[in-house]
Structure 1
């Protein structure tokens, strides 16, 4: 309580928003406590489930930061292509055979595509990777979350994850430059010229602030 109290005091002084990374093994009471103290939790699309089904946007909690992925997860394009599974298999840390893991992943993606199509967020039966990534972010934009975020890796089409949990020197954690889908490094100054950056931001703006006039959506 003392630690959280100090953190909230400093956040108030700095006019900052505090987000708790309440994923993994965090117990339920921790999430309740954070919510009661005005601290946002973290809700990641891939982890928000009702059994084996993905939780619909209206069932997301309000006091959270909603995202398609985080710094500890692969970029969405890499996820869709199972790049992370191939890396984990090569490193010897994949807990199941590679083909079995890929089949489970592809089944999840198929479920999500059907859900997005039923929600009107996808028009094509066989969407392109770009269309699917935009639809996933529109999905996040439709949740009740007070804060929704976009990862730069998704905006430029990066494939490699920045961090591979469970590794030390086996993987170049936090040393991978932002790159596009072809592996070309992307500088901050170049971001405004990437079509994906504008598309993904616009997709989020449309749903998060639908009442705003066009000239204020900047």
Structure 2
């Protein structure tokens, strides 16, 4: 079982970087296309850039359209960031001081992440307009069970953290070690491997979708103002 997970981890790792490379090419093409756009009359490049940054950091467009969904979505994304930072301690040796400092925040973020996912799913299921694909529900389900299995290990069935780190560092160093004998860790790790292939698409498309939406909105606002 341990060797099977190691092989899958290497396959996922390879697929991840292949997909990253492909999306990098798409990113470069999109960047050139966006740069070639003429700025909307009356809108300075600085204000357009600033608006796009605020949209990315605070999901302003979602806040304007659906404040109830925005609350859960923003809480999820912020908590997800801190959970990732917390997990870096298993991939780094030695662990930088800045990563050690965020460990308490990462623990709290684990609870926020899991419950914010339930909140987001509940809001979307009760929405009159169904605008979420089955693939999105699949990813949300993966994230929830990853979070739930992590909280289960945190509170009830604690794995040996030394064994966990040795296993993870062994994969990174291409010297696989024994798989920790904890069912919830195996579940947690397996679900994380299943999630990884979905990450690049979201990372690379979100900025350009946001920038393009902001550009079009500014153009529409200017037209309505002129009328």
Is TM-score (shorter-chain normalized) higher than 0.5?
Answer: no
Q: Which has the higher helix share?
A: 2
Name the structure, 1 or 2, with higher relative contact order (CA <8 Å, separation 6+): 2
Q: Which has the higher strand share?
A: 1
TM-score tier (shorter): under 0.3
From the CA coordinates, give the structure whose radius of gyration is larger: 2
TM-score by length of 2: 0.27
TM-score by length of 1: 0.28
